[in-house]
Amino acid sequence: MMTTEITRPERTTTAGRWYLDRAGLDDLVAALAADGRTVIGPTVADGAIVYDEIRASADMPHGVGDVQVAGRYRLTKRDDARVFGYVVGPTSWKRWVFPPTIELNTGRRAGHRVEFAPIRPRPERLAFIGVRACEIAAFGVQDRVLDAGPFRDADYAARRASAFIVAVQCTTAETTCFCTSMGTGPEVESGFDLALTELDEGFLLDVGSPAGQQLVEGPLAKAIRPATPVEVYTAAADVAATRARIGDPLPTAGLHDRLLAQLDNPRWAQIAERCITCGNCTLACPTCFCTSVVQKTDMEGIGATNERSWDSCFSPGFARVAGGSFRSRPRDRYRQWLTHKFGTWWDQFGTAGCVGCGRCITWCPVGIDVREELMAIAPPIALSPEPTRVEPVAASFDDFVVAQVVATRLETADTVTLTLSGADPAFSKGSLGQFAMVSIPGFPPLPISISRFTVDGIELTIRGAGPATRAMCALKVGDQLGLRGPLGNNWPIDRAVGRDLVIVTGGIGLAPLRPVIHALAADRRRFGDVRLYYGARTPADILYREEMERWASRGGIEVHLTVDRAGPEWEGRVGVVTQLFDQAQWEGANAIAFVCGPERMMQATANTLAGRGVTTSRIYVTLERHMECGIGLCGHCQMGRFFVCRDGPVFSLEQLGDTFGREGI
């Protein structure tokens, strides 16, 4: 979509941020029990944290932590008395909303007649304490499968509706966690009645539903007090630190297509040499829903009860038909499971079947790590081979190759795009973000960003700001000029695969980013959300108008525009480009940013991006310096320890450190 304004929808929240001390946890359990609910929470049994019925906080694992790696799990003693100082264990809440076995219906023969009677669900009222963000996401996945489709599982729907959820924010993580990759955590944001964030002496308590509000205003009223700003800040900081520890180890963009294109990958056979098809991964998984129906008859053989029980696609008999099993090999069963979880689940239910809880990794007896297998079978597809710089042509002070103007296009009153051909083929093989030293006899050579690579040449978009650039803008079809290049490094577009990408630029600064946008539009499914924020002096100075319309309408790119000065015909935003962020709703934890413009503008943009969670290692800028050689020998473009022409012009802010924006450097 292409917009000139972004509107922020109103967000409504249930009021309440409270503090509950450790003794108050018993009040919470008692209040839920008094409401007629069976309270299910974390307990320690058989050397693991499992979910089971609890009657008081003493039943919960105070001061217990865990260590989890592929194929291994053990409990540890913590240095504190925290109740939720562990991550998920082998059981999930699925056990209560989608039990391992239930009776479906009864049937009976009476002479020549038969009769059937469904067994109506009568779920007990439950309360779950300690539900993590990934587990709430698992509820959402199962809701889509079992409750939101045209055929509902009545038993699941009834149990799910009767459950009261007390969520807990994750303030610890293990190496098997990858909720950040799946977009399911560690922050609990919705889907709960009450949410706890554990602090040293108690809990921050958030209300998420009318039922939760009733509990806070009623039985818990005397056990809570308003939370202080310090408590709110500490809770948020603990969860943010957990997100940082987990990181984003699994690039999921395009994973559906990547997996389904690898159905014959030899890695499936290699996995089968390790996988014992025990089904532990499916049993521990909070979203797997495969079942079988077993019929039990009475002694007379005239009455029967149908029971539904959990099954696994790893079971040898799961795919059995009259002619045998159509997934007889372990490699076939593993492929079915993995491609369903991360691929065809999207086709069936509009979401992934995995929430990144890591149970399948921990509880695999042979330590198969699903993340490693996904990257081995379906790695992110690079836009090009391992990026290497093309050796520049005419790479010396006194040498240029000749190119001919084959087309010109007036972009604005003072800006022209020249299409060049006839130069060395190296120019058409350059990288996104590189530039050329361009020369016309009688004028000094100038660095000009390459605004497009064609099959047999390049395009240069030039604004006539001085004698040399005005002379270049005046060139006609058939005229020639000199080129040296392609020079410099490139925008790291491969780093953006699987991430959101934010492009911020103004005026002629869009030219070096134009090839990036073309590449994004051509391979759009490999990236997350792509947003272009562009500012121009006036509406008449906007570059590439028709292309921008195509990027927005067919390229899947959000385009947001602003101008410094506007006439009566302009209905869009007026102001500097960073003001376009004022109403933007996205967060930058998974974003990478490419920025081009005057250094003050880039500094302001970097500050704005940092406020949205985009780190300096993921903010890239392209620098403008005086250049005469383009190969790091004349010294004009030196910036601290860098030569901008040779080491740049594209840098991450992490590379530049405190030299970026420092006056006089």
pLDDT grade for 665, boundaries at 50, 70 and 90: low
- The pLDDT tens digits of the residues spanning 152-168 come to 899 999 999 999 999 99
Round the average pLDDT of the chain to a whole number and report it: 88
Q: Which neighbouring-strand residues pair with 461?
A: 417
Q: Is residue 122 part of a domain?
A: yes
Task: Work out whether strand 320-321 and strand 324-325 pair parallel, antiparallel, or are unpaired.
Answer: antiparallel
pLDDT of the residue at 92 = 94
- The pLDDT tens digits of the residues spanning 177-222 come to 999 999 998 999 999 999 999 998 899 999 999 999 999 999 999 9
Q: Are residues 27 and 166 in the same domain?
A: yes
What is the rounded radius of gyration, in angstroms, for the C-alpha atoms of the chain? 31
Closest by CA to 85, choosing from 52, 32, 44, 128, is 44
**What is the mean predicted confidence (pLDDT) over 622-644?**
80
Q: Are residues 527 and 457 in the same domain?
A: no
pLDDT of the residue at 657 = 86
Cβ atoms of 619 and 606 within 8 Å: the answer is: yes
Phi, psi of 433 (to 5 degrees): 110, -10
The percentage of residues in the chain with a pLDDT greater than 90, rounded to a whole number, is 52
Q: Is residue 449 part of a domain?
A: yes
**What is the mean predicted confidence (pLDDT) over 2-16?**
35
pLDDT of the residue at 381 = 62
pLDDT of the residue at 156 = 93
Cα–Cα distance list, 201 to 20, 129, 193, 204, 300 (Å): 9, 18, 22, 10, 63
Q: How many CA atoms lie within 13 A of 286 on its CB side?
A: 26
Q: Which are the contacts of 367, defined by CB distance < 8 A and separation ≥ 6?
A: 69, 70, 71, 72, 361
Q: Are residues 163 and 31 in the same domain?
A: yes
Largest CA distance in the chain: 108
Domain final residue pick, 361, 377, 393: 377
Question: What is the full DSSP assignment across 66-127?
Answer: EEEETTEEEEEE-SS--SS-S---S--THHHHS-SEEEEEEEEEETTEEEEEE----PPPEE
Q: Is residue 651 part of a domain?
A: no
**CA–centroid distance for 187 within its chain:** 14
Question: In one letter, which amino acid is 331?
Answer: R
pLDDT of the residue at 94 = 95
pLDDT of the residue at 455 = 77
Q: Are residues 559 and 476 in the same domain?
A: no
In whole angstroms, give the CA distance from residue 605 to residue 504.
8
Q: Is residue 637 part of a domain?
A: no
The dihedral of CA 414, 504, 2, 459: what is its sign? positive
Cite the beta strand spans of 224-264 per DSSP E: 224-226
pLDDT of the residue at 585 = 83
Cα–Cα distance list, 387 to 126, 224, 384, 391 (Å): 56, 58, 7, 12
Q: Are residues 186 and 65 in the same domain?
A: yes
pLDDT grade for 389, boundaries at 50, 70 and 90: low
Q: Are residues 567 and 535 in the same domain?
A: yes
pLDDT grade for 556, boundaries at 50, 70 and 90: confident
Q: What is the pTM of this model?
A: 0.60
pLDDT grade for 35, boundaries at 50, 70 and 90: very high
pLDDT grade for 146, boundaries at 50, 70 and 90: very high
pLDDT of the residue at 599 = 86
pLDDT of the residue at 382 = 55
Q: Are residues 299 and 424 in the same domain?
A: no
Q: Are residues 154 and 261 in the same domain?
A: no
Q: Is residue 338 part of a domain?
A: yes
Surface-to-core class of residue 577, CB atoms within 10 Å of its CB (0-12 exposed, 13-18 middle, 19+ buried): buried
Question: In one letter, which amino acid is 4?
Answer: T
Higher pLDDT, 370 or 578: 370
3-state secondary structure 272-334: HCCCCCCCHHHHHCCCCCCEEEEEEECCCCCEEEEEEEECCCCCCCCCEECCEECCCCHHHHH
Q: Is residue 645 part of a domain?
A: no
What's 454's domain CATH number?
2.40.30.10
pLDDT of the residue at 388 = 56
Q: Which helix (H) or strand (E) holds 402?
A: strand 401-412
Q: Are residues 276 and 365 in the same domain?
A: yes
Range of the domain at 140: 15-246
Question: In one letter, which amino acid is 246?
Answer: I
Domain final residue pick, 438, 453, 487: 487
What's 598's domain CATH number?
3.40.50.80
At 526, list the tokens: 């490999």
Closest by CA to 68, choosing from 83, 47, 53, 41, is 47
In whole angstroms, give the CA distance from residue 570 to residue 567.
6
Q: Is residue 604 part of a domain?
A: yes
Structural domain count of the chain: 4
In whole angstroms, give the CA distance from residue 525 to residue 620.
22
Q: Are residues 37 and 133 in the same domain?
A: yes
Q: What angle do CA 44, 47, 48 make, to 5 degrees?
A: 60
Domain final residue pick, 487, 515, 543: 487
Q: Which helix (H) or strand (E) holds 448?
A: strand 446-454
Q: Which helix (H) or strand (E) holds 343?
A: none
Q: Which are the contacts of 130, defined by CB distance < 8 A and separation ≥ 6?
A: 41, 42, 51, 60, 84, 166, 168
3-state secondary structure 477-529: CCCEEEEEEEECCCCCHHHHCCCEEEEEEEHHHHHHHHHHHHHHHHCHHHCCC
- The pLDDT tens digits of the residues spanning 284-335 come to 999 999 999 888 888 888 888 989 899 999 988 888 888 887 888 889 999 9
Q: Which helix (H) or strand (E) holds 605?
A: helix 599-611
Q: Is residue 561 part of a domain?
A: yes
Q: Are residues 24 and 107 in the same domain?
A: yes
Residue 159, helix vs strand vs coil: helix
In whole angstroms, give the CA distance from residue 242 to residue 350.
28
- The pLDDT tens digits of the residues spanning 421-469 come to 888 888 878 888 899 889 888 888 889 999 998 878 889 999 998 998 9
Q: Are residues 338 and 448 in the same domain?
A: no
> In the chain, how many H helices and how many E strands?
20, 32
